[in-house]
Structure 1
Amino acid sequence: MSVLNEVSFRLSRRPRSVPRARAALHAVLGDWGAGEEALQTAELVLSELLTNALCVRVPSDRQVGVRIAHSMADGLLRLEVSDAGEGRPEIRSPGPDDMDGRGLLIVDALTHRWGVSPRLGGIGKTIWAELKAPDLRAGAEVAEMAAVTVRVGQSVRVWGEWRTVRSVRAERYATGGLAVVLGLDEGPPLRVPAAEPLAVRGCGVSSPRSSGEDTPD
């Protein structure tokens, strides 16, 4: 697939990673000019793929990889979730009283196509789904980065908007953990844990192919 733009990042195997991935996807697609319907569909698909990956049995230290890419050639938005688990997920036929088993049914209904491929460069697999998105445009280079790596002059996605970073300082929480305080061009300072992943763009931001990973607490 000829890539127009892409973002890749890794997340810890925790339930909180699902809303984090959705927030990152929302920031990326917003930057690429996606409409509200496309945003909602893509977020639902990514949520189902990631939720399935978090249920797979893998070694405890393994993370989940996420890749978001858009092809100018075929107008497709591709969402990938990689895990270190074995097996191949299949569509199930849950009964009316079953509480789970509908994730891939949703993915199949909402996407142009989907499938499973061997995980590149490691054990496990990658579940991918493609949605028709011919109207997306090339946006500024965006990466998912730990807050501690953000620099003055870059922009971060907060409160649904892009804000330019005017100052960066580190401080300790009362519990001993490290926090980063970002002074922004508008609004109050942003105080977050040092390892908190943020959507960042501008001023030589790292290539989305090798963007930062979620660091376990």
Structure 2
Amino acid sequence: MAAPNEVTFRLTRCRLSVPRARALAHAVLGEWHVGQDVLEAAELVLSELVTNALRVRVPSDRQVGVRIARLLEDGLLRLEVSDAGSGRPEVREPGDDETGGRGLLLVEALSHRWGVEERAGGIGKTVWAELKAPDIVAEPVGREVAAVMVRPGQRVRAWDEWHVVRTVRTEPYPAGGLAIVLGLDEGPALRVHAAEPLTVRDDVVPSTRVSEEGTTG
């Protein structure tokens, strides 16, 4: 299964939600191989949007919604933060002696574009920002093959992650039939029936020493 092109989550109305949003964004963007400059800018923008949403006066049980999406065709990263409050945030020009009020100035400076829209099917609003992310990439496409066709050096999808196949060996099941045992770069070996379908990629794995072992037993 490919990694999704969007991730959504909800935050409770507490001060710990801002660092939690940053941590989740860091994890998601790391999976999407976003460049360091874009990653840092996205974390700052998301922090400001979440901070503003938490300041809106709404019932205490109303959570803040967050959506992070990659727009592959446009090379953009989109951040959305939704709250149940009314009104629309506006960019302020705080005085030199003011310590706050610069959040949206930062969002405007770091974003390719940003805006506000009414929440679809709900009360409140969604504040969104898009950042240019030219290095953002789609999840590599895999193909499905029988386990017996997997070879060392390929990548196989197991436990919702891609793993490099280091070794391949076969062994008989006691009740009959053939098992394929794949030694992976991380975690335990993967043991499956020879005919079981697996998703693989034919990436070139640099500096990888792999081997193929024959039937045992």
Judge same fold: TM > 0.5, yes or no. yes
Q: TM-score range by the shorter chain?
A: 0.5 to 0.7
Q: What is the distance in 2 between the residues matched to 1:48 and 1:86?
A: 18
Matched, 1:51 2:47: no
Aligned counterpart, 1:21: 21
Unaligned runs of 5+ in 1: 141-152, 156-183, 187-217
Give every structure 1 segment of 4 or more consecutive aligned residues whose post-TM-superposition deviation is greater than 2 Å.
none
Secondary structure of 2:21's aligned partner? helix
**How does 1:51-90 map onto structure 2 within 5 Å?**
51-90=51-90
**How does 1:96-107 map onto structure 2 within 5 Å?**
96-107=96-107
Unaligned runs of 5+ in 2: 141-158, 162-185, 189-217
Aligned counterpart, 1:174: none
Q: Is contact 1:114–1:128 with CA below 8 Å preserved after alignment?
A: yes
Question: 1:99-123, CA deviations, whole angstroms, 9 ceiling, x for partnerless residues?
Answer: 2110000000110000000012210
Secondary structure of 1:67's aligned partner? strand
Task: Tell me by how many angstroms 1:185 deviates.
Answer: 5.2
Question: 1:82-101, CA deviations, whole angstroms, 9 ceiling, x for partnerless residues?
Answer: 00000000000101111211
Matched, 1:112 2:112: yes
Q: What is the distance in 2 between the residues matched to 1:185 and 1:123?
A: 46
Name the count of aligned residue pairs. Answer: 144
Task: Tell me by how many angstroms 1:135 deviates.
Answer: 1.3
Task: Tell me by how many angstroms 1:139 deviates.
Answer: 3.9
Secondary structure of 1:96's aligned partner? coil
Q: What is the distance in 2 between the residues matched to 1:138 and 1:21?
A: 23
Secondary structure of 1:126's aligned partner? strand
Task: Tell me by how many angstroms 1:154 deviates.
Answer: 5.5
Q: What is the distance in 2 between the residues matched to 1:45 and 1:57?
A: 21
Task: Tell me by how many angstroms 1:73 deviates.
Answer: 1.6
Question: 1:20-71, CA deviations, whole angstroms, 9 ceiling, x for partnerless residues?
Answer: 1111100111000111111100000000000000000001100000000011
Question: 1:107-153, CA deviations, whole angstroms, 9 ceiling, x for partnerless residues?
Answer: 0011000000001221000000000012111248xxxxxxxxxxxx4
Provide the TM-score with structure 2 as the length reference.
0.63
Aligned counterpart, 2:212: none
Q: What is the distance in 1 between the residues matched to 2:97 and 2:85?
A: 28
Q: Is contact 1:14–1:54 with CA below 8 Å preserved after alignment?
A: yes
> RMSD over aligned Cα, in angstroms?
2.1
Q: What is the distance in 2 between the residues matched to 1:95 and 1:139?
A: 46
Q: What is the distance in 2 between the residues matched to 1:72 and 1:37?
A: 18
Q: Is contact 1:31–1:139 with CA below 8 Å preserved after alignment?
A: no
Q: What is the distance in 2 between the residues matched to 1:138 and 1:73?
A: 10
Aligned counterpart, 1:164: none
Q: Is contact 1:11–1:17 with CA below 8 Å preserved after alignment?
A: yes
